[in-house]
Homo-oligomer: A and B are copies of this chain.
Amino acid sequence: MDTSSVLDLNQLRRSCASCALHELCLPAGIDGEDLKRLDATIRDKRTLDRGEALFRQGGQFHALYVVRSGSLRTFVEDASGNSQVLGFHLPGELVGVDALANDHHASQAEALERSSICELPYEHLNHLLAQMPSLQRQLMRVVSREVAAEHQHMVVMGRQPAQERMAIFLRSLSDRFARLHRDGSTLNLSMSRYDIASYLGLAVETVSRLFTRMEEAGILEVSRKAVTILRPDLLEAMCSSPRTGSKKGGAL
C-alpha cells in the first residue's frame, strides 16, 4: 500500500509537523525525531462524505482516529434501534477509544460533513508507545481530557433544565471553535437538530423552540445551520440556572 512511490492524494497531507492542528492534537509536545516516527505510523484514511461511517458499532477495532478537518458525530444504538448521540468531534479530537476495552467498537462514528481523518493503526501505535514515553503520556492526557468532558456532560444531563443545556452546548462549541482559531461567535452547526436533541437528552421540538426563544431574546441569530452569538455575556449567564444557588447568600 505504502512502500511504492505512487502516492496519489496522500500528497495533500503528511507530516504532523506542518499540520495546523499540531499543538492541539495528539502530537502536542512531541518533537524532532519522535515526531517523525509518529508521523510515519499515521495513515491517511480516505476522506469521508457526509453521512459516511468511520466505524460501526460492533465492528472490529484496529485503529484510533483523529479528525483532521470537518466533523463527526459518535453515537450508540440500543437493541430497539434508538440512537443516543455521545458527542461531536472537531478537528484535533480523538475518537475510537471505547473500542480498546474488548477489540470491538462500542459506538459508531459518522461524518457530519465532508471530513478527513488521520488513522492511527493500533499495532503500530503500540510499538511507538513502548518506545516513546512522551507519546504515552500525551495519549493518556488526551484520553483523560475526554473522560473529564464526559463527566461535565453528565452534570448537564443529570441536573440542568433544557435552556441551560442548550446554552452550555453552544458555549462549548464556541470555545472549541475558538481554540481552532476560528471565529467562536459564528458557529456552523454541521449536525441536525435531531442530533443536538439526542445529545442533550431533549426532544427536537424543544431544541427548535429554544433556538427561536434565544433569537427573540437577542442572544443569537439563527439561520438554519448558521448560528451567530450576538451576546456572549447573556449566553454565559444562561449556562447556570438562576434559581440554583447555595442555600444562603445565593444572590450576593
Which residues of chain A have a CB within 8 Å of any CB of chain B?
A: 76, 78-82, 84, 86, 97-102, 106-107, 126, 129-130, 133, 136-137, 139-148, 150-155, 157-159, 198-201, 240, 244-247, 250
Indicate if the CB atoms of A98 and B154 lie closer than 8 Å.
no
Contact B198 A145 (CB under 8 A): no
A147 and B240 contacting across the interface, CB-CB below 8 Å: no
B157 touches A157 (CB 8 A): yes
Complex Cα–Cα for A101 and B159 (A): 24
Let me know if A126 and B137 touch, CB within 8 A.
yes
Inter-chain contact B79/A148, CB cutoff 8 Å: no
Tell me whether B129 and A97 are in contact (CB under 8 A): no
In the bound complex, do residue B100 and residue A144 qualify as a contact, i.e. CB atoms below 8 Å apart?
Answer: yes
Q: Decide if A98 touches B144 in the complex (CB within 8 Å).
A: yes
Question: Closest 10 interchain pairs by CB?
Answer: A100-B144, A158-B201, A157-B157, A101-B144, A101-B145, A130-B133, A98-B148, A84-B155, A106-B148, A81-B246
Q: Is the CB of A159 within 8 A of B80?
A: no
Q: Is the CB of B80 within 8 A of A246?
A: yes
State the oligomeric state as a number of copies: 2
Q: In the assembled complex, which residues on chain B have CB atoms less than 8 Å from the CB atom of A151?
A: 76, 86, 98, 106-107, 150
Distance of A154 from chain B, by nearest CB (Å):
6
Which residues from chain B contact A146 at a C-beta distance below 8 Å? 147
Chain B residues within 8 Å of A101, by CB: 141-142, 144-145, 147-148
Known: A78-B159, A107-B148, A159-B198. 20 other contacts (CB 8 A): A76-B152, A79-B240, A80-B244, A81-B247, A82-B244, A86-B151, A97-B143, A97-B144, A97-B147, A99-B144, A106-B148, A126-B136, A130-B133, A136-B136, A139-B140, A150-B154, A154-B157, A157-B158, A157-B201, A158-B201
A106 to chain B, nearest CB (A): 4
Complex contacts, A201 vs chain B, CB 8 Å: 157-159
